[in-house]
Structure 1
């Protein structure tokens, strides 16, 4: 797939800007806080409907304006696609594909596939389990868009069940009502668990191969899905029973705390290097190798499943990598993946890379040909 054109109106610090992408690699050059990352964020929103930087749409709208719009023209192997996303400081978004407003935003997912790699991704190793759950969920949104609906439904049920548990402080729970919510939580939670299991089973060996290559056969990466619910096997029946047993075990604690303690919202994705937890393992360099391997594995897995290479968004990551890892990353990209890369200087790129790249200068929310 290839992103031909991107137009931003009142998005972040961009008032009105159109970018025509004329090469497989586009380098966005400029000082910090000029709008380079904002442009990548716009592409990320078109891909996943989410920003990894903010959670409220009003933060994406230019100050003083009530709405912003991102439009794009994309070429895939089956033809050309027009995308548009209208963001409002108050109210619901409008998502459009080929000039048709979508009733379900779920239908927007999976049209533009992209993998973003930024300095914030080091939190995949150092951060809390929620960070790793969000990472694998975002990957699933692109590969299996219906998963977004499943996860949203699970979160809705979880919220309702928590509300019921909180009422236990003031009155006795209705056993039949709690049983009903338990059933819904288990049914939907099982769908979340099984999809996470499947995607990690496919991603883990690819990431392991990349990690072995980057570390020059000195380290072995293992990715393990550790669900909060134990099951003897990966079948809906086994997971349902394990879920039910654990809910019974934690029932008193849940009612005491007024909170659901069982389910995929408490899952962990364990990352180990040579059988040692990566979070506690070695240097930042080793942690960066791990994250680089994860991102390269994402690229490869999406390409395998959707049949086309996704876009690669690199947000100032070369500064985070040593020369060896920079070369590994740049050599993998070549012209295989359309790449948008932000940087404050061009020193990390060799002449061949620069000659085959489109270089755009970014200053104060405006883009110029360098």
Structure 2
């Protein structure tokens, strides 16, 4: 797939900017805080409808404006697609494909695929379990767009169940009569049914992903280190069968009933899953050196590229946000060798010193200054 054009209107610090991509590799050159990362974020949103930098849509809209917009033209083997997203300060978002507004955002997903690699991705190793769950969910959404709907359903049921638990705790503290437990049992059944779908999909994708990441990790570390990726679900089940996982879920909910009612929150489910990375049987989060952590994240990103390509049948876009400075020469070379002209790549940098002459010759170089982009 190839991103031909990108148009930003009142998005982040861009008032009006049109970009035409003319090479497989585009280098976005500029000082910090000029808008380089904002451009990559726009592409990430087109691929996943998610941003790893913004919690609310109003953060994406230019200050003082009511709406922001991203439009793009994407070339795929199946034909050309026109994509558009409109963001509003009130959080209501509109997506359209080939000029038609889509009623379900789910139908927008899967048209464009992209892998983002930024310095923030080191939090995959160093951060908490939520960072790793979010990374895994974003990957799954690209591979199976319906997963976005499943995850949304799960989070809706989780919020409703938590609201009921909080209400019970408040009533208990106030000495008021408590509602019947049948109401909670209804939410339990829904949580287990939808939660088991999340668990099984996460387990399946990591089964496919793990060997790819191991292979890349061995190549980058010159076979001196062995990476293992282990899914540690909050609800472990002996069998990968829907009913077996649901029953394990319900059993654990029953075990934690008193603790949940005491704390007023749901303690069981995939919102408490963990993905464990170990290097030579040592937890990477606790003991990995900075070099080991960077090798691990690079291996994860290269494995994402390969997995998405094998599933969707086309190479995804690669978005590199100021990561070359984070990698030593060996890791830089491994990354640049892998990319070559296979993956359309957008890469941000503050200087061109990390690139050899051949790379520069085959790249489109765009300079970014205060939300304006111009060619070299």
TM-score, scaled relative to structure 1:
0.99
Q: Are 2:70 and 1:64 equivalent residues in the alignment?
A: no
> Which residue of 1 is the match for residue 18 of structure 2?
18
> Distance in 1 between the 2:20 and 2:286 partners?
44
Deviations 1:144-184 (A, max 9, x none): 00000100000000011111111222042412111111000
Q: Are 2:326 and 1:317 equivalent residues in the alignment?
A: no
In the alignment, structure 2 segments of 5+ residues that lack a partner are 172-176
> Does the Cα contact within 8 Å between 2:279 and 2:288 map onto a contact in 1?
no
DSSP 3-state at the match of 1:92: coil
Matches of residues 1-370 of structure 1 in structure 2 within 5 Å? 1-169=1-169, 170=171, 171-370=177-376
> Does the Cα contact within 8 Å between 1:214 and 1:289 map onto a contact in 2?
yes
> Does the Cα contact within 8 Å between 1:47 and 1:110 map onto a contact in 2?
yes
> Which residue of 1 is the match for residue 174 of structure 2?
none
DSSP 3-state at the match of 2:254: helix
> Distance in 1 between the 2:91 and 2:165 partners?
30
Closer, same or farther: CA 45–331 of 1 in aligned 2, 3 Å: same
> Distance in 1 between the 2:164 and 2:244 partners?
26
DSSP 3-state at the match of 2:337: helix
Deviations 1:314-368 (A, max 9, x none): 0000011011100110010000000000000000100111110000011110001
DSSP 3-state at the match of 1:233: coil
Runs of 4+ in 1 over 6 A off after TM superposition: none
In the alignment, structure 1 segments of 5+ residues that lack a partner are none
> Does the Cα contact within 8 Å between 2:58 and 2:91 map onto a contact in 1?
no
Closer, same or farther: CA 91–270 of 1 in aligned 2, 3 Å: closer
Q: Give the Å deviation of 1:45.
A: 0.6
Q: Give the Å deviation of 1:281.
A: 2.3
> Distance in 1 between the 2:68 and 2:167 partners?
41
> Does the Cα contact within 8 Å between 1:231 and 1:238 map onto a contact in 2?
yes
DSSP 3-state at the match of 2:23: coil
Deviations 1:295-315 (A, max 9, x none): 000000000000000000000
CA RMSD for the aligned pairs?
Answer: 0.7
> Does the Cα contact within 8 Å between 1:315 and 1:343 map onto a contact in 2?
yes
> Does the Cα contact within 8 Å between 2:57 and 2:91 map onto a contact in 1?
no
DSSP 3-state at the match of 1:346: coil
> Does the Cα contact within 8 Å between 1:167 and 1:173 map onto a contact in 2?
no
Q: How many residues align?
A: 370
DSSP 3-state at the match of 1:64: coil
> Distance in 2 between the 1:202 and 1:265 partners?
22
> Distance in 2 between the 1:58 and 1:163 partners?
26
> Does the Cα contact within 8 Å between 1:85 and 1:93 map onto a contact in 2?
yes
> Does the Cα contact within 8 Å between 2:165 and 2:265 map onto a contact in 1?
yes
Q: Give the Å deviation of 1:91.
A: 4.2
Deviations 1:261-302 (A, max 9, x none): 000000000100011100122310110000000000000000
> Does the Cα contact within 8 Å between 2:68 and 2:86 map onto a contact in 1?
yes
> Distance in 2 between the 1:88 and 1:97 partners?
18
Worse overlay, 69-78 or 277-286:
277-286
DSSP 3-state at the match of 2:16: strand
> Distance in 2 between the 1:91 and 1:198 partners?
33
TM-score, scaled relative to structure 2:
0.97
> Distance in 2 between the 1:74 and 1:168 partners?
51
